[in-house]
Amino acid sequence: MSTGVPCMIMRGGSSKGAYFLASDLPSDPSDRDDMLLRIMGSPDARQIDGLGGAHPVTSKVAVVAPSADERADVDYLFLQVGVETDQISDRQNCGNLLAGVAPFALERGLIAAQDPTKRSTSVRVLMRNTDTVATAVFGVADGSPVYDGATEISGVPGASARIDLEFEGLAGSSCGQLLPTGNVIDEIDGVACTLIDNGMPVVVIGANTLGVTGYERCAELEANEALRAQLERIRLDAGHRMNLGDVTDTTIPKLTLVAEARSGGHLSTRTFIPHRCHEAVGVLGAVSVATAALLPGSAAHNIAHYDGKGPVRLEHPTGSFDAVVEVERASGKIDITRAGIVRTARKLMDGHVFPRTGL
């Protein structure tokens, strides 16, 4: 470890994480996770002796490699690193860090711009956590990623270059089908819930059914011990119903409380990920919630008042998030024909990280 491990810190969407080439990490998953805990400074509430930022949205890792799959150019494995625990989960995707994967792959020479004379390129990314593919389209100059631009996304100060992400085959990627129970509504702990998986397993709940407005600050919701206890009861039950098994020690499913929009969007959201309230909203979680808004009878549909035109806009504590979702219904079957979002990313640091010597 005297020479360190090559690492790039990137902001991807409204998250931040450490990006590694798979070849620079141990091939054995147990050894790899042990090293990453020491790199990120976990377990420790402050992650003071590592790269982590003391919050789940800044304690993330992307592992990137050339792809042997004909569907993709590069492979991306997302790892959620526990902050106060020594656990690392690979049971979910992260659409925010996904935004930085293709630029990182170009930076590291895993791929080349399709045509260096053009101002953009596209890269197919295999999200190994769920064996699904996303296509990233982003700007390039002289064969290198462009990070400066005029696109603003909520939860991130300033503007950066636009990255378009289009997803394939997200529905049921973790739970087996879009509605894991086959129902638009399930009652859990006396509460009407929509259990949905369009890229991220999410439990969608009307905020007022839990005795809150859905407009509270995250700190206020986190301080509501009765609410958090009920949410955890719902989550643990939903885990089994969603074919995820015992989710006690996992970060899925997420839980999103929805209320009527207040600022020109379609839904106001507060998302637990799963025990902290997100100051924004996760990319694939947003896609799942937006999809729920399109399904008549769901916990989100009547609240959303969506007219079917343009993206579904989800308001969250620090702004809003637009998700383009297209749904077709025929013979009782729900078919997701399109899912896409816009993100940005930025390279923050490139160098070597030095793991501490022991936990």
What CATH number should be reported for the domain whose range is 186-335? 3.10.310.10
Q: Is the pLDDT of residue 334 over 90?
A: no
119: Cβ–Cβ under 8 A, 6 or more apart, which residues?
139, 140, 141
What beta strand segments (E) does the chain contain? 5-12, 15-21, 60-66, 74-81, 88-89, 120-127, 132-141, 144-145, 163-168, 186-188, 191-197, 201-206, 254-260, 267-272, 312-316, 319-330, 333-343, 345-353
Confidence of residue 113 (pLDDT cuts 50, 70, 90): confident
Q: Identify the H or E element spanning 99.
A: helix 95-107
Question: SS3 letters for 262-309?
Answer: CCCCCEEEEEECCCCECCCCCHHHHHHHHHHHCCCCCCCHHHHCCCCC
Residue 319 confidence (pLDDT) above 70: yes
The model's confidence at residue 140, banded by pLDDT at 50, 70 and 90, is: very high
Average pLDDT over residues 120-147: 95
DSSP state of 112: -
Given a cut of 60, is residue 1 above it in pLDDT? Answer: no
300/309 Cα distance (integer angstroms): 17
Q: Where in the chain is the domain with CATH 3.10.310.10?
A: 5-162+344-353, 186-335
Tell me what the mean pLDDT of segment 297-305 comes to: 95
Say how many C-beta atoms besides its own lie within 10 A of residue 143's C-beta.
13
Least confident of 89-93, 201-205, 292-296: 89-93
**Residue 348 above 60 pLDDT?**
yes
Specify the pLDDT at position 117. 80
Nearest C-alpha neighbor of 224 from the set 166, 277, 179, 178: 277
Please tell me the predicted confidence (pLDDT) of residue 329: 79
Angle at 317 between CA 311 and CA 321, to 5 degrees: 15
- The band of 330, judged by pLDDT with boundaries at 50, 70 and 90, is confident
pLDDT digits (tens, 9 = 90+) for 12-69: 999 999 999 999 999 999 999 999 999 999 999 999 999 999 999 999 999 999 999 9
Q: How far is CA 295 from the centre of its chain?
A: 22
Total Cβ atoms within 10 A of residue 28: 9
The structure tokens listed for 157 are 């100060």
Per-residue pLDDT, 173: 92
**On the CB side of 188, how many CA atoms lie within 13 Å of its CA?**
27
Model pLDDT for residues 208-266, shown as the tens digit of each residue: 999 999 999 999 999 999 999 999 999 999 999 999 999 999 999 999 999 999 999 99
| Residue 315's pLDDT band (cuts 50, 70, 90) | very high
Task: Report d(CA 209, CA 238) in Å as an integer.
Answer: 17
Q: Above pLDDT 70, what percent of the chain?
A: 99
Burial (CB < 10 A; 0-12, 13-18, 19+), residue 54, is middle
* CATH code of domain 5-162+344-353: 3.10.310.10
Q: Taking residues 196-215, what's their average pLDDT?
A: 97
**Alpha-carbon radius of gyration of the chain:** 20
pLDDT of residue 118: 87
pLDDT of res. 62: 98
Residue 303 binned pLDDT confidence (cut-offs 50, 70, 90): very high
| pLDDT for the residue numbered 359 | 62
Task: Report the pLDDT value the prediction gives residue 163, as an integer from 0 to 100.
Answer: 97
pLDDT above 90 covers a percentage of the chain that reads: 88
Q: What is the pLDDT of residue 333?
A: 79
* Measured CA distances, 166 to 31, 102, 136, 190 (Å): 33, 13, 7, 37
Which pLDDT does position 243 carry in this prediction? 97
Fill in the DSSP letter of residue 151. B
Residues with Cβ < 8 Å from 132, sequence gap 6 or more?
93, 126, 167, 168, 169, 170, 173, 199
Q: Which two tokens stand for residue 253?
A: 């499913």
| 337 — pLDDT class (breaks 50, 70, 90) | confident
Mean pLDDT across 107-130: 92
Closest CA to 30 of 265, 255, 359, 306: 359
